[in-house]
Structure 1
Amino acid sequence: MIKGIIFDKDGTLFDFNATWGTWTRGMLEAEAKGDPAVFDALADAMGFDVDANQFRPDSIVIAATVDETADCILSAIPDKDKDALLARMNAATAQVTQVEAVPLADYFSGLAALGLRLGIATNDAEAPARAHLDRAGVTGHFEFIAGYDSGHGGKPAPGQLHAFCAHTGLDATNCLMVGDSTHDLHAGQAAGMRTVGVLTGPSPHAELAPFADIVLPDIGAIPGWLKSENLIAL
């Protein structure tokens, strides 16, 4: 039986390209300071399709930590100061208007009514992650929130998921890891959890399916799937 669910954030709770496409273009323009060659180099390094205003499915940014994304940016503009870049990125991302994959407040109220224990495991930094959850009005539904900088490492390593189990007292076999990237699913498998892939990020079904118990259109389909598989007490 499933007693706990730990969710990725970007591309899972929030539609990835709808949220980050426009913001990323603005960030790249700011870092390029009007130099078209630098802008193109940054877009290429980050796997950002300028014409479509969205990330390519093979972009490093989809599953990377903020620290790894900063390194990617610095590969195109190596004269920048990494600490200063990280500070700008964390401050700016905390203010991004997130596009919810489903109406989150009602969704998580419904999961809570089913008696499920809930957590967040993101490769974002914890502070902006909490800001995004606060803005969506759902922070209170999660008893565990971890970013890559929270002391448990980042995905695809399972440290955040092990910490969720330790915090809740749940066995990993009674938990579900939900995410939009193979990093999320690999972390779930390594932790001994069931895994659910969702298609609200750039990764296609064929990329997620080999590592997921099920691939669903979005998180809204999870309660119905759990009930159909008799994985939750009714």
Structure 2
Amino acid sequence: MTKRVTSGPIGAVLFDKDGTLFDFGATWNVWAGEVLRELAEGDAAVLQALAGAAHYDLVASEFLPESPIIAGTNREAAACLAVALPKRSVEEIERHLMLTSSVAPLVPVVPLVALLASMAAGGLKLGVMTNDTEYGALSHLGQAGVAELFDFVAGFDSGHGAKPAPGPLLAFARAVGVAPERCVMVGDSTHDLVAGRAAGMRCVGVLTGPAGTEALEVLADVVLPDIGHLPKWIESLS
């Protein structure tokens, strides 16, 4: 039987999506390689230009750590790729990214249903804030069977802004009726943690995205291997 997590001093947990709920490399490195080839339409020179703009290694099939797409919004990713696709509008590329990413093969970092159901049963309010689109977020959470476990889901296009600004995190706190200081922001990137600090929340870094411990620990209250370790940490604060 899964032990229920009591809320203690923490009343709400806001998760990033990609690299936090879903393993970044196993999910998005694979998707990106396929999408860049689709956009290149068989033109090797265009494919190389797209990979260069995205900071994507075509041989290793992975994003380089400095890629602006890793933590950027869907719009920012489209604008980045548009440099190599002068005949296509940013809006057209953005829609292509939204639709293809919404059906990407997801790899959860842990069994999500059991973990999130336990946290919700313990009284914690749960949310997701991603720099992906809201459409993509709802699609992915639905595919994973956990959409109904969240009290709040927002993308960069939901009207609250995007990380690293604190606006969407504060919107979550208001929506669930929990003061920011009793909320936890959980993410795999510095964007997540910068936003969490600015919102006055506790911050947890996880190592299921491209960023390593050294990059996250300067902003986080704790850095965990993955979100499966989160309940024990929350319990330790009680």
- TM-score, normalised to structure 1, is 0.96
**Aligned-partner residue type, residue 227 of structure 1:** E
- The question of whether the paired residues in 2 share the 8 Å contact of 1:57 and 1:204 is answered with no
Q: Does 1:47 align with 2:55?
A: yes
Structure 2 counterpart SS, 1:45: helix
The CA distance in 1 between the partners of 2:213 and 2:59, in whole Å, is 23
- The 3-state SS of whatever aligns with 1:149 is coil
Q: Say whether residues 1:98 and 2:106 are aligned partners.
A: yes
Task: Quote the Cα distance in structure 2 between the aligned partners of 1:193 and 1:78.
Answer: 41
- Cα distance between partner residues in 2 of 1:47 and 1:204: 18
**Cα offset for 1:94?**
0.9
**Which sits farther off after the overlay, 64-73 or 89-98?**
89-98
Tell me which residue corresponds to 2:75: 67
List, as ranges, runs of 4+ consecutive aligned residues in structure 1 with deviation greater than 2 Å. none
Q: For structure 1, which runs of at least 5 residues remain unmatched after alignment?
A: none
Q: What is the RMSD computed on CA atoms of the aligned residues?
A: 0.9
Displacement after TM superposition at 1:156 (Å): 0.2
1:95 positional shift: 0.8
Q: Deviations over 1:66-98 (max 9, x none)?
A: 000001101222221122111211111111121
Residue 160 of structure 2: which of 126, 144, 152 is its match?
Answer: 152
Aligned partner of 2:4 in structure 1 is none
- Equivalent in the alignment of 1:137: 145
Q: Which consecutive unaligned segments of at least 5 residues does structure 2 have? A: 1-8
TM-score by length of structure 2 reads 0.94
Corresponding position of 2:5: none
Whether the aligned pair in 1 keeps the contact of 2:77 and 2:94 (CA below 8 Å) is: no
Calculate percent identity across the aligned residue pairs: 49
State the match for 2:186 in structure 1: 178
Map of 2:14 onto structure 1: 6
SS in 2 for 1:118: strand
Q: Work out whether residues 4 and 117 of structure 1, in 8 Å CA contact, stay in contact via their aligned partners in 2.
A: yes
* Aligned partner of residue 12 in structure 1, secondary structure: coil
> What letter is aligned with 2:72?
A
SS of 2:29's partner is: helix
Deviations 1:91-130 (A, max 9, x none): 1111112100001011101111221100111000001110
